Amino acid sequence: MDFIEEFIARGFFHQSTDLEGLKELTSSKKISAYIGFDPTASSLHVGNLMQIMMLRLLQKHGHKPIVIVGGGTVKVGDPSGKDEMRKMLDAEAIEKNLSGIKSNLSKYIKFGTDESNAIILNNDDWLKDLNYLEFLRDYGKHFSINRMLKFDSIKLRLDREQNLSFLEFNYMLLQAYDFVELNRRYNCRLQIGGSDQWGNIVSGVELNRRIGNSEEIFGLTTPLMTTANGAKMGKSANGAVWLTESLLSAYDYYQYWRNTDDRDVIKFLKIFTDLPLEQIENYNQFVGTNKINDVKKILAFEVTKLCHGVDFAETAAATAIKMFEEKTLSADLPTLEIAKEKLEPGIAAYSIFNQAGLAESGGEARRLIRGNGAKINDKTVSDENLLVNLAYCNEDGIIKLSAGKKRHALIKLA
């Protein structure tokens, strides 16, 4: 398969400005293509994973991925899919987030100086020195307000009668200008993004044409990634599914994928792993049978291996076997160390579940306990103010906490 054939076969394709022209281009020569990420957090999450896997697929086929981390556009904020204006970040926060995002991406794509090696750029490098009046004169004249108002990123906000600032309205112009700069500097011919970016991508393609670019420029988008029950990818019951181990343990990441809905397993294997399509198609026979659980383990292992490495993936898989098949504790579970003198008088149950990361807040922990979803040493907790003290420790000084059937943590004496 060439790039576009595999792109479609794996379920990445939603729409393109010229699919046949793009297929002809990418099958006859190696090109540069870009995807942008706004540095709004110090880590990417599962909601970004489809775009990351597209970069990986590009590089697999010998094309050059360009990653734009929007240090400039993040100061404006993309209104696409948002109900309100984004929080403004200072330069220090942006720089910290840039570093974290590159660390995430380095596990999936190779950066360097070779022809197909990826490069990472900050669009603040060319946006910060733009002269506003010159920019409006040279580029603003190519944008139709009438047309911009019809793009979903703008139209949906206005239809809901939610405020759209003039600052955010400029985002489409700036992202389109990014494509112009990337074409000039790196002969970038393709922008890829989610379906919510269609208006921004089309604007970049058209701006290149209107300023006299003789080469055809292309846009390509992916479908909105949702689970079988309609939920948007990237969130779990306990918050964002981060790609950084310090924010979400490799075990919890593995468990997120292990708990995939049966209806999503084949789709996720195609998009989020490198397994051959022939092998994945063979797993179709197990959908609707008990053997689908074995396929879920393969999915969880392969996805965790890409994000955290094979050693972490093997440890997470072994920990899950100990917990759910052998019914034994594993030292590789997320662990919170507490000093003996703090645990001796006791800590309220709701507080210790919150501290262990099994609830995002004390209020959420209280609701977990009230709903009979919390266990200490495999026994249901009914009192949210129960004092968890040394008496709950086993002979190794460990207390096991459980939130539901799938999420566990250990308390260990420091």
The 10s digit of each residue's pLDDT in 260-314 is: 999 999 999 999 999 999 999 999 999 999 999 999 999 999 999 999 999 999 9
3-class DSSP state for residue 335? Answer: strand
Together in a domain, 218 and 254? no
CA distance 398 to 87: 41
> Can you give the CATH number for the domain in which 265 is found?
1.10.240.10
Beta bridge partners of 45: 242
Place of tokens 């092998």: 279
Domain boundary among 324, 353, 380: 324
Output the DSSP codes for 363-381.
HHHHHHHHTT-EEETTEE-
**Residue 381 belongs to some domain of the structure:** yes
Count of Cβ atoms closer than 10 Å to residue 25 Cβ:
19
Together in a domain, 40 and 61? yes
Together in a domain, 52 and 166? yes
- The pLDDT-based confidence of 12 (bands split at 50, 70, 90) is very high
How confident is the model over 223-238, as a mean pLDDT?
78
Together in a domain, 294 and 160? no
* pLDDT reading at 340 higher than 80: yes
Q: Which amino acid, one-letter code, is at 92?
A: E
* pLDDT reading at 92 higher than 80: yes
Domain boundary among 273, 301, 324: 324
> Would you give the distance in Å from CA 287 to the centre of its chain?
26
> Can you give the CATH number for the domain in which 358 is found?
3.10.290.10
Domain of 306 in residue numbering reads as 249-324
- If one compares 186 and 149, the residue with the highest pLDDT of the two is 186
Give the pairing type, strands 239-240 and 398-403: unpaired
* pLDDT reading at 360 higher than 90: no
Q: How many domains in the chain?
A: 3
How confident is the model over 2-14, as a mean pLDDT?
97
Give the pLDDT of residue 81: 47
**Residue 243 belongs to some domain of the structure:** no
Together in a domain, 170 and 72? yes
How confident is the model over 66-90, as a mean pLDDT?
68
**Residue 244 belongs to some domain of the structure:** no
Give the pLDDT of residue 156: 74
> pTM for the whole thing?
0.78
Count of Cβ atoms closer than 10 Å to residue 187 Cβ:
11
Sign of CA dihedral 258, 259, 264, 268: negative
Output the DSSP codes for 171-190.
HHHHHHHHHHHHHHHH-EEE
Place of tokens 């921004």: 200
Pick from 303, 306, 267: nearest CA to 283: 267
Helices and strands of the chain, counted as H and E runs: 19, 15
CA distance 153 to 173: 13
- The pLDDT-based confidence of 161 (bands split at 50, 70, 90) is confident
Together in a domain, 180 and 271? no
- Angle (CA) 293 299 303, round 5°: 150
How confident is the model over 378-392, as a mean pLDDT?
90
Most confident of 210-219, 257-266, 389-398: 257-266
Output the DSSP codes for 140-177.
GGG--HHHHTTSHHHHHHHHTT----HHHHTHHHHHHH
CA distance 180 to 192: 15
